[in-house]
Structure 1
Amino acid sequence: MSVRILLLGCGAFGRVHLRALARLGAAAEVRAFDPDAAMRGAVASEFADLRFAESVEAGLAWCDAAIIATPVPTHAALAEAVLRADRHLFLEKPAVETAREAEALARLAGTRGRIAQVGLYFRFHPKALALRALVAEGAFGPLHYLAARFSGLKRARGDSGALLNDAVHFADLLPWIAGAPVTQVFAQLADPLGRGREDLALVQLRFADGAIGLIEAGCVLPGRWPDAVVPGAETRKEVIVAGRDALAEVDFAAETFALRRGRHAPGPGGAWLPGHAARDASEPPAADPVAVVAAELAAFIDAVATRRAPEAGLASGAVAPARILDAARRSAQEGRMVELEEIA
């Protein structure tokens, strides 16, 4: 069965969605809407056969499901319109700006009986999937540290700061990998550009199992690799996971995966010495952004067809990370550790 999909928003990542949908072939029939005539023209030059809806309302009358890839402040209202039209929803990250908005959308999707999936890119990346599987099978033993860096030298988006644009990815991914929720957040935010948004964020985490974590995000730091989506940007997209029995470093921009098994053990003079093996030779496959988004959309289309709840639904994919980011804002404002219970 082909699903009729309306794409709302034809910016840089909207075009990645169009390429991913083209890669899926007959699984989806696609139309698009963007209020910007120049944006429509640019997209039409790349996708000659793409048809455009005359309005959001006309597109919703035609489609079975909608993808929202518009600026962040428009997400809540558009997502509500999609769900109230009884259409299924794929909502790009960050789903919405606050946990309260995320909770309202989750309730609405449940009331209307609609499939709603959040565009959590890294959950569908082969290297993140491999890392999570290793943690789940106990290869790391008890975890003690998870860290992520999503930063670089790039444009400061006009619709969001470092928390919503970058940190949101790993506010979702680290608990997902750990298999444990975050219980405490301490954050420091900075506005080095003086534009009224945090363009640098450091977020410390405490997980329910006792592990600690750190997220670095921002657009004013040195990058290491060319960004695969935004031309001219330099980026770092890295995750570290450390446990009693193994250590791992994943660089999503360079497509490297370094796993070392072993543990510290008592040695002479009371010292504890590392006994870790060389890097594991196994390497999860690489994936370009179009392939990862295609995997996300294939899962969404399957959920629509089968009416199975998506793994990256609104409760886990929107509410949970939004609560962490809400706690980060509160922590930075009040200068203290914030319990997640305070954000419930």
Structure 2
Amino acid sequence: MQIGFGNFGPTHLAAWRVLGLADELYVVDPDGAARRRCMDLGIAPDRVSGTVSDFLDQADLVVILAPTDLHLEVCLPVLKTGKPLFIEKPMTANLNDAQALRDLIREQVVQVGFYFRAHPLAQRAKEEVDKGRLGDLRYISGRFHGHKRARSDSGVVANDAVHFIDQANWMVGELPLEVDAVTKDHFGRGHDDFALIRLFYPSGALAHVEVGCVQPGRWNDNIVPGATQTKEFMVSGSEGAVEIDYQVNDLQVHRVRHELVEGIWRPDNRGVEKPYCTVVEPYQVVAAEFQAFLDAVDGKALPLAGVDECGVGMARTLEAIECSSIENRRVLL
């Protein structure tokens, strides 16, 4: 059962079709227009409702695609059943909700929906890190911005920055120790539309994430018509670096390290590899997320993005980002 069928709902439906499970899907959304859109896309009317209780008993597992501030409320009846849960990022709207949700989990599998962990380009970068090919990690950067609509339910930190914060955490293999941030609300909506974030890790690695809808993007967005987008991620270490441009499915691996030669640190460039050229569509990445979730439910693997790290840990980081921006200081987590 999928609870919520908003702007990303059709992508989720396409992902279920890739897995051959769309005909078994129940969809719940209180909004009539969302339900009609769902049925227009092929879901049988008797599998669509505005009420969770209509399908909760029949469902084997549940995907939460509701607005973030409703996640805890929507999850409560599901948690009581012990059924597996997939919760789109961020897991909750605040740290208190995240801790409350975690404390209500029994033995069921719960996975947080961090899209890029299932992306083949990110997985290739993670492979480079895990096999030590980049050496000691030093710096990570992420740029996720473009001229696009300002969402009414959240800002760019909770909607966009979380992706690359999580990806940085995943690459480094630890949560940040400190953060500092600048956020802006140019439109006066009560939500940020621009942010610069620095993450300081126990290992000494540093990450910098820039997000916003007031800066231009390099490419047309592949999800939202009429928007532009930049989605670039880089991880750099003592033995090389990986650069990813998600908008054009481009990955480059730099084999380079600095060596001290005659008193000067000089780069020893051993070449650039471009191992990927396959186009990856968003629904394919979501299908990979869902497959990882199903594998975790079947006991074949751990959840791709677990609750402690990606739910509670992320909520604590987002709270620190807000505090840093308000108080203009670096915040210890």
Normalising by structure 2, we get a TM-score of 0.94
- Between 1:16-25 and 1:306-315, the stretch displaced more is 306-315
1:145, 1:295 → 2: CA distance?
A: 28
Q: 2:291 aligns with which of 293, 298, 302?
A: 298
Per the alignment, residue 316 of structure 2 pairs with 323
Per the alignment, residue 80 of structure 2 pairs with 84
Q: 1:240 aligns with which of 214, 229, 234?
A: 234
Change (3 A) 1:258 1:114: same
1:214, 1:187 → 2: CA distance?
A: 10
**Which consecutive residues of structure 2, in runs of 5 or more, have no partner in the other structure?**
none
Per the alignment, residue 113 of structure 1 pairs with 107
Task: Tell me the SS of whatever aligns to 1:185.
Answer: strand
Tell me if structure 1 keeps the 8 A contact 2:94–2:319. Answer: yes
Normalising by structure 1, we get a TM-score of 0.92
Tell me if structure 1 keeps the 8 A contact 2:221–2:229. Answer: yes
- Between 1:6-15 and 1:48-57, the stretch displaced more is 48-57
Tell me if structure 1 keeps the 8 A contact 2:174–2:201. Answer: yes
Per the alignment, residue 24 of structure 1 pairs with 19
Per the alignment, residue 181 of structure 2 pairs with 187
Indicate whether 1:74 and 2:70 are aligned.
yes
Indicate whether 1:93 and 2:86 are aligned.
no
Per the alignment, residue 252 of structure 2 pairs with 258
Which amino acid in 2 is paired with 1:171?
I
Post-superposition CA distance 1:89-129 (Å, at most 9, x none): 110111111222112212211xx221111111000000111
2:38, 2:305 → 1: CA distance?
A: 28
Tell me if structure 2 keeps the 8 A contact 1:171–1:325. Answer: no
2:3, 2:321 → 1: CA distance?
A: 30
- Between 1:284-293 and 1:133-142, the stretch displaced more is 284-293
**Which consecutive residues of structure 1, in runs of 5 or more, have no partner in the other structure?**
1-5
RMSD between superposed Cα atoms in Å: 1.8
Task: Tell me the SS of whatever aligns to 1:60.
Answer: coil
Instruction: Provide the identity percentage.
Output: 39
Per the alignment, residue 2 of structure 2 pairs with 7
Quote how far apart the aligned CAs of 1:284 are. 7.0
2:190, 2:43 → 1: CA distance?
A: 40
2:221, 2:82 → 1: CA distance?
A: 36
Which amino acid in 2 is paired with 1:35?
P
Quote how far apart the aligned CAs of 1:285 are. 4.5
- Count of aligned pairs between the two proteins: 332
Quote how far apart the aligned CAs of 1:172 are. 1.1
1:52, 1:238 → 2: CA distance?
A: 37
- Between 1:77-86 and 1:139-148, the stretch displaced more is 77-86
